[in-house]
Structure 1
């Protein structure tokens, strides 16, 4: 059974036409199934867990990056693949990096059913697919227990698994969500190569580190905020995802 999770913002009247087109395309492709619409009274974790227990063949997140982030935190470790139907270009950089077109085009990707296993970043008990970030000031990073970096300048610490938002990433980053490694970079207003001064390289690959900041949370995929101390690691091949041919890795 195919299960579709519609994000709550799609309950707005302005999205009626696009969701109707998607449902028509899904039916034409023989992919019709159960539609669940999120709302104040529906918990996505319980919903997805129950659908997997009932034998869902695919769980498809319909919405944007935030929808995907919440879905993966319910599906990590499951063999059931995640499908994605992005609605509008806004806040849908993850789908684009996975080679998934918008709306009806995404239905064709679902039909092709090209499934690959992806690594996930793990921050304490939460997961992220694309990236995690935190404000620089007041942040201390302990890398692989060998040394620590304390950042005093304004800017941002970025941790990348999937290079979804290329505009905010260093030019030479080459993230691959199948290599078992995460990449760390530090941006400051004064210098774009702050980390290079410390390590000899502008991108620092790692498998585990700890972040401490008493004043700012770590933000996962622009959605989930968690307070420190936070241990960040990579969970290898933790998620099956239906992807397109034009993916960025």
Structure 2
């Protein structure tokens, strides 16, 4: 009998993501599967629940939520034989979209039952894992304002972006070391991606791959508000690389050193983190997570 645990964020997306045993057993035969359902009720609670599930012998752990929930669950099983399933019920669902995991519960469950496993790369930012992307600068500030809205909708994401636009020019200088080159930059954005989508079908790194052993990076120094508007418009059409300030590359690792300021504000898979260390090391663990995909 297969033991599957479901870690559910009931407030992801529309906030109505409550599965019941009856709902799931419509899809999982009781004589073949043992199901355990757990609800997270605060940030990082899914980490605690996942660790419990590991101790309880789960062979498949399914994250039901957005990229933040997926991050908390997946972070606990990197480097293990436990398989990650995803039922994307969040607002962005960037990783699930990259992996072609359907948004409908019935189709996502059917995928989990097929158990086709893909090994994917995992990004690290100091002691934290990321599976889609991480960033310092404008995108982190957007997430900061987005979380403050307490509603995960596209409308509120746009509002958060506009507020961050009004708050430009607050970033401190950062020294970046990558591929034996060092630059000092007051960044508009330092963006590092493992996957090809942010969510909402928006992408800054459309050529990124979860299995190529490389991180795709975008570094943009401080730019004028007019160019920020231009960058946003170009991004919608995946043409942002034509902005001359945009520096795009691939790497296995990079190092950021805070020249001023008391803390790094970073977004990691769409969640805000305050990193108090003076420096950040971003690197990759190749093919270290087993994910159930198409």
Which of 118, 126, 147 matches 1:124?
126
CA distance in 1, matches of 2:279, 2:197: 26
> Is 1:161 equivalent to 2:194 in the alignment?
yes
Q: Which runs of 5+ in 2 are unaligned?
A: 139-170, 232-239
Q: Distance in 2 between matches of 1:4 and 1:19?
A: 11
Q: 1:203 to 1:82 in 2, by over 3 A?
A: same
Counterpart Cα distance in 1 of 2:83 and 2:51 = 13
Structure 1 counterpart of 2:75, from 73, 76, 81: 73
Is the counterpart of residue 220 in structure 1 residue 254 in structure 2? no
Picking from 86, 89, 93, the partner of 1:87 is 89
Count the aligned residue pairs.
Answer: 235
Give structure 1 stretches of 5+ with no counterpart: 245-249
CA offset at residue 71 of structure 1? 1.0
Instruction: Return the match for 2:184 from 145, 150, 153.
Output: 150
1:98 to 1:39, Cα distance in 2 relative to 1, 3 A:
same
2: CA distance between counterparts of 1:195 and 1:182? 21
Larger CA deviation: 233-242 vs 216-225: 216-225
Conserved 8 A contact 1:100-1:106: yes
Written as runs of structure 1 = structure 2, the 5 A alignment for 1:1-249 is 1-9=3-11, 14-16=16-18, 22-27=23-28, 31=33, 33-40=35-42, 43-87=45-89, 90-102=91-103, 103-135=105-137, 137-144=171-178, 146-152=180-186, 155-165=188-198, 167-170=202-205, 173-187=206-220, 188=223, 190=227, 192-193=240-241, 202-213=247-258, 214=261, 216-227=264-275, 228-244=278-294
**TM-align CA RMSD:** 3.0
1:138 Cα deviation from its structure 2 partner: 2.4
TM-score, structure 1 length as denominator?
0.81
Give the secondary-structure state (helix, strand or coil) at the position aligned to 1:105. helix
Contact 1:132/1:219 (<8 A) preserved: yes
Q: Deviations over 1:75-108 (max 9, x none)?
A: 11111011001126x2212111111111221101
TM-score, scaled to structure 2: 0.70
Instruction: Using the TM superposition, give the Cα deviation of residue 217 of structure 1 relative to its aligned residue in structure 2, in angstroms.
Output: 1.3
- What's the offset of the Cα at 1:196? 6.7
Q: Give secondary structure in 2 for the equivalent of 1:39.
A: coil
| CA apart distance, 1:221 | 0.5
Measure how far apart 1:50 and its partner are: 2.8
The 1:13/1:225 distance shift into structure 2, 3 A limit, reads: closer
> 1:66 is paired with a residue of what secondary structure?
helix
